[in-house]
């Protein structure tokens, strides 16, 4: 799917948002009332602890969640939050595209600090629109974004320390509106998806690159526990798995609304068990698959999930760029 098609779908969703919000609010209230009754009944008759109740056979409790953000330019607000990452010490880093900055929050959604997306190097314009973010094994932040030059979007990658000071920068010989980034933690290599290209480099320079098949549209990228590279493909509503030389090893998912089917898949990440989590944007949910592409379950249902990340304790962090919010889900059993 082309970026234009995605933007058209996003525009349609925005028009429907007020009606959807009202319906979802009614559904949540009804569900909350029912679950409150069911949980109390289970605890009264079975004398189960809270943890045991969540694991009760045939009954599932809605994940606890915290939501923050909203549209705006004040600290804690966003104008397009396309990327998110969570550090080992539970800090959430979120890109704020049109405000040209990175914002940092606690794992409970409390605003901590922000810093501008500076691109060092004496450029005429030294602020980029940061699209995606990742953390390396040393705790440094890697951000990919673009600076508009005429009608083109020049792609830059910048390494920052935790306080937002630029440490290193790479200008890619590519132009793209929606670049995304991931880190291969064992090697500490940086992997960037730009249009149809996958570029890998270390702190000392380029280490490899390849192009995917013509007609495919990369959404987001991540690094698998087995060393392979996974990307969401918006054009074929699938996830594609490549080795480091660009050989396609696996493709899973197909267009649709059923279990294991995807519509405009976006963010992607892996958990400590090697499961693959996919932001099923068009179906308003986050789904989990095995590393072999077998559907496991829908983790959460949430409107328009875009970027996703997993916290140290198994928290699922999701951005919704339609409402400029970030949602933290505390998943039971993880």
Token code pair at residue 279: 């932001």
The whole-number average pLDDT for the span 162-169 is 92
Residue 272 per-residue DSSP state:
T
Token code pair at residue 282: 């068009």
Token code pair at residue 204: 């000392």
**Percent of the chain predicted with pLDDT > 70:** 78
Does residue 195 or residue 34 have the better pLDDT? 195
64-330 fold: Neuraminidase (2.120.10)
In which band, very low, low, confident or very high, does the pLDDT at 151 lie, cut at 50, 70 and 90?
confident
Can you give the pLDDT at residue 212?
A: 80
Over 70: is that where the pLDDT of 213 sits?
yes
Can you give the pLDDT at residue 57?
A: 30
CA torsion 240→230→86→138, rounded to 10°? -170
112, β-bridge pairs:
none
Q: According to the per-residue pLDDT averaged within each range, which of 1-10, 90-99, 149-158, 210-219 is highest?
A: 90-99
Residue 10 has a CB neighbour count (10 Å cut-off) of 15
Over 70: is that where the pLDDT of 267 sits?
yes
CATH 2.120.10.30 domain position(s) in the chain: 64-330
The whole-number average pLDDT for the span 82-87 is 97
**φ/ψ bin of 162: left (φ > 0), alpha (ψ from -120 to 50), beta (otherwise):** alpha
In which band, very low, low, confident or very high, does the pLDDT at 285 lie, cut at 50, 70 and 90?
very high
In which band, very low, low, confident or very high, does the pLDDT at 17 lie, cut at 50, 70 and 90?
low
CA distance 93 to 102: 7
Residue 282 per-residue DSSP state:
G
- Residue 17 near residue 322 (C-beta atoms within 8 A): yes
Can you give the pLDDT at residue 188?
A: 85
Token code pair at residue 234: 């918006």
Token code pair at residue 80: 């397009």
CA distance 230 to 252: 11
Can you give the pLDDT at residue 55?
A: 31
CA distance 22 to 139: 41
Find the range with the poorest average confidence among 113-117, 186-190, 295-299: 186-190
Largest CA distance in the chain: 70
Measuring CA to CA, how many Å separate 179 from each of 118, 175, 224?
17, 9, 19
pLDDT digits (tens, 9 = 90+) for 33-68: 334 434 343 333 333 333 332 332 333 456 789 999
Does residue 11 or residue 319 have the better pLDDT? 319
Q: According to the per-residue pLDDT averaged within each range, which of 14-18, 78-82, 217-221 is highest?
A: 78-82
Nearest to 229 by CA among 280, 181, 178: 181
Can you give the pTM of this predicted structure? 0.82
Any idea how long the chain is? 334
The whole-number average pLDDT for the span 241-257 is 94
| Mean pLDDT taken over the chain | 83
């Amino acid at each position: 799917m082309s970026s234009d098609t995605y933007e058209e779908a996003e525009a349609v969703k925005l028009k429907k948002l007020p009606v959807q919000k009202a319906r979802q609010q009614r559904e949540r209230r009804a569900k909350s009332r029912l679950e409150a009754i069911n949980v109390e009944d289970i605890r009264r008759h079975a004398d189960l602890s809270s943890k045991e109740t969540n694991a009760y056979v045939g009954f599932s409790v809605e994940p606890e969640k915290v939501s923050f953000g909203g549209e705006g330019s004040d600290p804690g607000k966003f104008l397009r939050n396309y990327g998110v990452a969570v550090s080992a010490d539970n800090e959430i880093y979120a890109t704020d595209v049109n405000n040209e900055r990175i914002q940092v929050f606690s794992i409970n959604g409390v605003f901590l600090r922000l810093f501008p997306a500076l691109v060092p190097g004496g450029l005429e314009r030294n602020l980029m629109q940061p699209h995606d973010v990742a953390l390396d094994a040393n705790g440094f932040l890697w951000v990919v974004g673009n600076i508009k030059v005429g009608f083109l979007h020049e792609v830059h990658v910048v390494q920052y320390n935790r306080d937002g000071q630029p440490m290193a920068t790479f200008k890619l010989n590519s132009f793209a509106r929606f670049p995304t980034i991931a880190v291969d933690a064992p090697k500490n290599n940086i992997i960037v998806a730009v249009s149809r290209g996958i570029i890998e480099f270390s702190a000392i320079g380029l280490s490899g690159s390849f192009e995917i098949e013509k007609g495919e549209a990369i959404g987001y990228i991540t690094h698998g526990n087995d060393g392979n590279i996974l990307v969401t493909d918006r054009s074929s509503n699938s996830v594609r798995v490549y080795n480091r030389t660009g050989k396609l090893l696996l493709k899973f998912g197909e267009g649709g609304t059923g279990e294991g089917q995807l519509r405009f898949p976006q963010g992607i990440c892996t958990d400590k068990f090697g499961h693959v989590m996919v932001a099923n944007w068009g179906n308003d949910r986050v789904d989990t698959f095995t590393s072999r592409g077998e559907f496991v379950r829908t983790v959460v249902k949430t409107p328009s999930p875009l970027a996703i990340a997993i916290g140290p304790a198994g928290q699922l962090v999701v951005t919704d760029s339609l409402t400029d919010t970030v949602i933290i889900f505390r998943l039971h059993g993880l």
